[in-house]
Amino acid sequence: MSSIPLNALDRLAAALDELRTRAIELENDLQNEIAQVTPEHRASARNLIHYLALRQEDIRGLQDDLVGLGLSSLGRLEGHVLATLEAVLRALNGLAGRRYERPRDTGPGVNSPTAAALLAEHSRRLLGQRPMRRSVRIMVTMPSEAARDR
């Protein structure tokens, strides 16, 4: 067992579990909208909803506490929100000497390798092939009037 007080681990796990619950609740609230998304983009749409739910909260204190334990600060979870929350929950429970059981309230979230593959594929479809020896592509959005008025 770790030297971290059990009540601190329990408090952090409860806060993360609450974030996960809110993400799932928002997903459930927006099921009709998700159903309108093309099947190949649904996982990304679900993940975006999870991200929006998370960002409705001020998690800076939680992030500081997680970093203090050497865990993810949740700062780079955009592409794989549920998978990151669940990974940190597994780690916190492990530190507390418990096993984390993922709730069966939704399908699995997008994981890091899948997120990278989805981003690459969606970018290719939207912006075309990446130019050789360049990793950056730029997309400019303009109003419709710009097509008629220089």
Is 55 part of a structural domain of the chain?
yes
| Domain of residue 26, residue span | 6-147
Cα maximum dimension of the chain: 68
| pTM higher than 0.85 | no
Asked whether residue 90 is assigned to any structural domain, the reply reads yes
Q: Output the pLDDT for position 144.
A: 87
Tell me the DSSP string of 84-119. Answer: HHHHHHHHHHHHTT------SSS-----HHHHHHHH
User: Considering the domain boundaries, does residue 50 fall inside one?
Assistant: yes
What pLDDT sits at residue 108?
Answer: 60
Q: What is the pLDDT of residue 1?
A: 45
Q: Is residue 1 part of a domain?
A: no
Name the amino acid, one letter, at 61. Answer: G
Residue-level pLDDT at 6: 79
53: which 2 tokens? 């739910």
Give the pLDDT score at 3.
67
* Domain tally, the chain: 1
Residues of the chain with pLDDT under 70: 1-3, 106-109
Q: Tell whether 40 is covered by a domain.
A: yes
- CB count within 10 Å of CB 99 equals 8
| H or E, element range at 120 | helix 112-127
**Residue 22 falls within a domain, yes or no?**
yes
Of the candidates 75, 84, 76, the residue with the CA atom closest to the CA atom of residue 111? 84
Within-domain flag for 110: yes
CB 73 within 8 A of CB 12: no
40-57 pLDDT per residue, tens: 899 899 999 999 999 999
In whole angstroms, what is the distance from residue 30 CA to residue 49 CA? 8
Residue 97 within a domain: yes
Beta carbons of 88 and 72 less than 8 angstroms apart? yes
